[in-house]
Structure 1
Amino acid sequence: MSRYGNYGGFGEYESKAQKLAKSKKKIAALKKKNPDIEPILIEGRLLARTWWGKAWNANLEKYSDLSNRLERGRSYVRNGSILDLQIHAGYITAQIMGSGSSIYKCRVDISPLSEKTWQIIKKQSSGSIASIGELLSGKFPKEMQELFAAKSDGLFPASSEIKKSCDCPDYASLCKHLAATLYGIGARFDHKPELIFTLRGIDSSELVSAVVESHKDDLISRAKKANKERQLKLKDKQLSKLFDIDFEMPD
C-alpha cells in the first residue's frame, strides 16, 4: 500500500453527504464571525430551477473558454462548498471551501451593460412586460426571454466582459473555485433575480416605465373615460336620492 492509502494521493474519500455536512459546519462557524454571509445551498442535482438561473448558466456555457472548465465547479456547488456569495454593482465576491478545509476567496468583475444595449432592450420590451412582479418571476413572453438572453446584446455578459481572480494556488484561467462561483451566481438569481440588474448597473423598473410610456396616450384616454363614467354614476345616484326616482343608466 502506498503512503497515500488507496486514493492515489488524493486523501481519504468523502461522500457528498460528508462534504455537505463539513460545509454546513464551516458555514455555521463563519456566521458566528459574520452573520451577513450568504452561502449557496441547493437541493437535488439541478444547479438552477428558474428561468433567470438557467439563462445565466446557459449563457456561460455558450463560450468555449468557459464551458470547457465549468464542469469542475458543479460538484462544489452541489456539495455546499460556496460558503458565501455576494453580488454587488459590477462584481461578485465569494468564499469557496476547497477539497480540504482551506477557504479560497474569489472575485468576478462584470462589465456594466452598455447604454446602447439597454436602450435596445427597453425599446423592444415595450408593451410586453406588465409589472415588476411579472418580470422577476420570469413569466414574460418567449420573445422577451430570447431578447434578454441574446448572446451579443442581451442582459447577460459576454465572456470578454467577465474578469476572474482566485487566491488559490491553481494558475488556470478558470479554477474549480471560480467555476463554482460562476454557477453559484445562477443559483442566487433563482432566489433574487433582481440582482442581475444590480450586477449590470441598470434599473429594472425602467422596463416597466417604458411600457407605460409607450401606452401613455391610451392609458390617459382610458383614465378619462373611467372618470367620466364614475362622475355620471355619482350624479345619477344623487338625482335618484333627491327625487326618489331611479335615474341610473344601464350598463
Structure 2
Amino acid sequence: MSRYWETATYEQPTAAEIRKNAAESKKKEKKKGAALEPVAVQGRTIVHNWWGKAWCENLERYADYESRLDRGKRYVRAGAVLDLKIQKGKIQARVQGTRKVPYKVEIRISPLSEEKCQGIIQKCGSKIENMEELLNGNFPEQMQELFQGKDGLFPAPREISFSCSCPDWALLCKHVAAALYGVGVRLDEQPLLFFELRGIDVGRFIDVTIAGKVEAMLANEGKASSRIIGDEDARGLFGVL
C-alpha cells in the first residue's frame, strides 16, 4: 500500500552519464547556433590559482551551503556546466543533470554599497603599489583580507540568491553548486571577471584610489616629518663639529 507522504527517491547519475548527456546537449545547442561557454576542469583539482581558490574557500566557509557543495564538485568535474556567463551582479548557467535538457541556473549577487566601496578604497590607498599585480592576476598576500575578511569584497550568503529550473526543493541544489564552482574556474582564468561580477569599474576604482592617496599626501604638505634629522642630530651622527 502506498503512502501519501512517501518520498520518491532518485538515483544520482554517474559521471559517465553526465558527460554523455552533456555531449548530446552541446551538439543540439550547436545546431541551433547557440554560443556556449562551457566550464572545463582538468583532473580532480577544480581550481589552481589564488582567485579561484579564494572564491571556492569563501563558499565553503558558510554552513548554509555545505550540504550540497560536494555534489556540485562532482558535477563540475564531470563537465556538467555547459554554459556559464558572468555579468554585473549576475551569473547565468546551463547545467546538465539527469534529464536530457540542461537546467537553467541564475545566481544574483547584491551590489556593493557606496559606504563599503569607500571603505575598501581607503584600505587600498596605502597599498596602491600592488594594484598592477592585482590586475595581472598576481594577487598580493597583504591584500587578502580586503577580499576575504569581514565586510570584504567576496559575497556573504545573505548577498547571494539563486534559482534553478530543476525539481529539487533544496534552496541550493547541486546544479547551482556546480555553477558556483564553475565561477571559481572562470576566476582562475580571468580574475578581472570578479570585478565585473561585483559591479566595480577597475579603471575608475584605481583612479579614485590614487586620487585619495594624492589628497592625503597634499594634506600633509608642510608638516614636519619625524623622519627628518635635525641639524644637531646630523652633526652628532656624522661627527661634524
TM range (shorter): 0.7 to 0.9
Structure 1 regions of 5+ residues with no counterpart?
1-7, 220-251
**Cα displacement (A) at 1:127:** 3.9
**Cα displacement (A) at 1:210:** 4.2
Q: 1:6-50, CA deviations, whole angstroms, 9 ceiling, x for partnerless residues? A: xx9738x74x45643542443243233244221101111112111
1:140–1:184 distance in 2 versus 1, CA, 3 Å: closer
Query: For 1:20, what is the secondary structure of its paired residue?
Result: helix
Within 5 Å, which residues of 2 pair with 1:11-90? 14=14, 16=15, 19-20=18-19, 22-90=21-89
Within 5 Å, which residues of 2 pair with 1:23-172? 23-130=22-129, 133-150=132-149, 152-172=150-170
**Cα displacement (A) at 1:83:** 0.6
Structure 1 counterpart of 2:211, one-letter code: E
The equivalent of 1:232 in structure 2 is none
Cα RMSD of the aligned pairs, angstroms, is 2.7
The equivalent of 2:6 in structure 1 is none
Does the aligned pair in 2 maintain the 1:53–1:187 contact within 8 Å?
yes
Question: Take 1:120 and 1:34, find their aligned partners in 2: how far apart are those partners?
Answer: 45
Question: Take 1:216 and 1:132, find their aligned partners in 2: how far apart are those partners?
Answer: 16
Q: If the length of structure 1 is used for normalisation, what is the TM-score?
A: 0.74
Does the aligned pair in 2 maintain the 1:127–1:211 contact within 8 Å?
no
Question: Take 2:154 and 2:131, find their aligned partners in 1: how far apart are those partners?
Answer: 19
Identity value in percent: 44
1:215–1:24 distance in 2 versus 1, CA, 3 Å: same
The equivalent of 2:11 in structure 1 is 10
Correspondent of 1:201 among 199, 202, 212: 199
Greater Rg over alpha carbons, structure = 1
Question: Take 2:170 and 2:10, find their aligned partners in 1: how far apart are those partners?
Answer: 21
